[in-house]
Amino acid sequence: MDTTQRTEQQRSADRRRRELLEAADRVVLRDGPQASMNAIAAEAGITKPILYRHFGDKGGLYAALAQRHTDALLGSLRAAVDAPAGRRERVEATLDTYLAAIEARPQVYRFLMHPAEGSQGGDQGFDVGKHSAPLLRRMGEELAQVIEERLDLGPGSQQLARVWGHGIVGMMHAAGDWWLGERPCSRAELVRSLADLLWGRLAAAGDKMGGPGF
């Protein structure tokens, strides 16, 4: 098999994988954590063994969906951080971007963050921490990198940026999870309240290289 044939086969495999993930997305939007491999296979017009061949098991499919949605969310968060606005406005925009994403697709959020609720139809349930923790950890590391690049935190800046990055992501996740379930206030009110909580040392930190900062 020559290089051209291998490349075409890889493109075909990648295209088929995207199609299967799109089918999985449609089922997750409809069923949330109750989405089953049987339902996803039916939506894709294939048998369950073929779905297993592409993803291994529901955990493999979950990991692929998590990467797909996390990539999109991180792109949106970076855009909010880099928007031409004051620091407080960018902090609020970043918080609002995350909350708007989980509000717009709550079933997807629950599938990714509460997968143990979806054990049915012969599918094996999830250990929530095993699957959702890497997703949150990735977001924390990404935010830490942004903080370190944009703020002058003095000695120990790398460690402090990682503490802040993971802490902010943990706060957004916990507060957003509670808010999505109870809706005790508007999204705008939650954003303002969380920004107030952050608005201590973050407001006082200097910017690096005279740029706009975080």
| Each residue's pLDDT expressed in tens, for the chain with a length of 214 residues | 566 767 877 888 888 889 999 999 999 999 888 888 899 999 999 999 988 888 888 888 888 888 888 888 888 988 888 888 888 998 999 999 999 999 999 998 888 887 654 444 445 444 445 667 788 898 899 899 988 888 888 899 999 999 999 999 999 999 999 999 999 999 999 999 999 998 876 677 777 766 556 6
Domain boundaries, the chain: 3-210
Q: Provide CATH code, domain 3-210.
A: 1.10.357.10
What backbone torsions phi and psi does residue 106 show, to the nearest 5 degrees? Answer: -60, -35
d(CA 14, CA 82): 31
Q: Rounded to two decimals, what is the model's pTM?
A: 0.79
Pick the closest to residue 143 from 173, 113, 114 (CA basis).
Answer: 173
Q: Write down the number of H helices and E strands in the chain.
A: 10, 2
Pick the closest to residue 193 from 96, 98, 109, 100 (CA basis).
Answer: 96
209-to-56, 161, 203 alpha-carbon distances in Å = 48, 17, 17
Left (φ > 0), alpha (ψ -120 to 50) or beta: where does 122 sit?
Answer: left
- How far is Cα of residue 20 from the mean position of the Cα atoms in its chain? 20
d(CA 169, CA 140): 6
> Which pLDDT does position 164 carry in this prediction?
93
